[in-house]
């Protein structure tokens, strides 16, 4: 018993040190750097100021942040529209077919997302699959421009993030008691009514979890915007990457990262609050 207690204590200490070393310390370094001053030679100087945060008020940077929110919101909405029915019908399949569908859903994860983004470029290019099909069917006379547009960025993000919406929804739908729907039907409820009054409220935790899992990472997928949207479709992730690697303005890059972290933290806090209220109301009833 004492040996098990010592082992458990050692594991807790080891995990705690790992989290502090690779989680807390880098975060503190990022926050401190965001309050420093840029130096063209040494990246930054130990002179504390709010210059980096003041620069983020610049309309150009605000436009990038708003564009990031817009793209992330559109991607989340598309993933929810297509992912919810997919998760619902997958959850209603027999177990062996359900497993097969989930395996097929996870297969793209075996390939690096950067490689999959390049594959999307080949599909949307001037001589890509989409233009080839449209030309062969006679729907268009000349190739249409799909790459380096907002549509290409949203489609790329949607393709990469769809599984992150489906998996939490499926985990929620799998536990759903379908007898509640049958009872609602027996009481004369229409399809829309039993979905709105029974299914939707009970799957809200999965919806919120899926939206968070899609929206939050989408804000930082800078390579998707760079490869599919070009220089005009920068997201906040591109801004951070450029400030650290190209402009060598580490304080501004750190300040942008801190703003992104705060936005994500607020969303997670909102998710926790909504989930708590939903749980309380559910048990109160």
> Residue 52: which of 238, 221, 265, 258 has the closest Cα?
258
* Residue 46 token pair: 């130990």
CA 79 to CA 32: how far, in whole Å? Answer: 36
Report yes or no: 69 and 215 within 8 Å, Cβ to Cβ: no
Question: What does the pLDDT profile of the chain (285 residues) look like in tens digits?
Answer: 556 577 787 888 888 899 899 889 999 999 999 998 887 767 777 888 888 888 888 888 888 888 888 999 999 999 999 999 999 999 888 888 888 888 888 888 888 888 888 888 888 888 888 888 888 888 788 888 888 888 889 999 999 999 999 999 998 888 888 888 888 888 888 888 888 888 888 888 888 889 988 998 888 888 888 888 876 677 888 888 888 888 888 888 899 899 888 888 888 887 777 777 766 555 555
φ and ψ at residue 43, rounded to 5 degrees: 75, -40
- To 5 degrees, how large is the angle CA 109–CA 110–CA 112? 75
What CA–CA distance (Å, rounded) separates 226 from 260? 18
Q: CA–CA separation, 72 vs 131, rounded Å? A: 26
Let me know: does 41 contact 244? Beta carbons within 8 Å. no
Residue matched to tokens 């989680």: 23
Q: Which domains does the chain have, with CATH numbers?
A: 28-115+153-284 (1.10.3720.10)
- The separation between CA 167 and the C-alpha centre of its own chain, rounded to angstroms, equals 13
Q: What is the rounded CA–CA span in Å between residue 154 and residue 245?
A: 25
Q: Is residue 28 packed enough to be buried (19+ CB in 10 Å), middle (13-18) or exposed (0-12)?
A: exposed
CB atoms within 10 A of CB 32: 14
DSSP 50: S
């Amino acid at each position: 018993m004492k040996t098990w207690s010592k082992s458990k204590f050692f594991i807790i200490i080891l995990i705690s040190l790992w989290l502090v070393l690779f989680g807390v310390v880098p975060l503190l370094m990022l926050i401190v750097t965001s309050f420093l001053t840029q130096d063209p030679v040494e990246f930054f100087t130990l002179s504390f100021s709010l210059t980096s945060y003041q620069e983020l008020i610049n309309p150009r940077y605000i436009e990038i942040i708003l564009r990031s929110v817009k793209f992330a919101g559109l991607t989340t909405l598309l993933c929810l529209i297509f992912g919810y029915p997919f998760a619902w019908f997958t959850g209603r399949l027999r177990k062996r077919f359900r497993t097969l569908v989930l395996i097929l859903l996870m297969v793209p994860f075996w390939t690096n997302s950067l490689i999959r983004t390049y594959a999307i470029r080949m599909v949307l290019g001037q001589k890509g699959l989409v233009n080839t099909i449209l030309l062969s069917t006679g729907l268009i006379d000349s190739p249409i421009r799909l790459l380096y547009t907002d549509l290409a960025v949203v489609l790329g993000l949607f393709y990469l993030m769809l599984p992150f919406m489906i998996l939490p929804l499926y985990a929620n739908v799998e536990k759903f008691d379908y007898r509640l729907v049958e009872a609602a039907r027996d009481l004369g409820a229409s399809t829309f009514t039993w979905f709105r009054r029974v299914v939707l409220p009970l799957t809200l935790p999965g919806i919120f979890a899926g939206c968070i899992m899609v929206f939050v990472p989408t804000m930082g997928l800078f390579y998707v915007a760079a490869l599919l949207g070009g220089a005009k479709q920068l997201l906040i992730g591109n801004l951070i990457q450029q400030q650290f690697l190209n402009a060598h303005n580490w304080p501004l890059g750190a300040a942008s990262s801190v703003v992104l972290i705060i936005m994500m933290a607020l969303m997670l806090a909102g998710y926790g609050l909504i989930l708590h209220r939903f749980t309380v109301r559910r048990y109160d009833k």
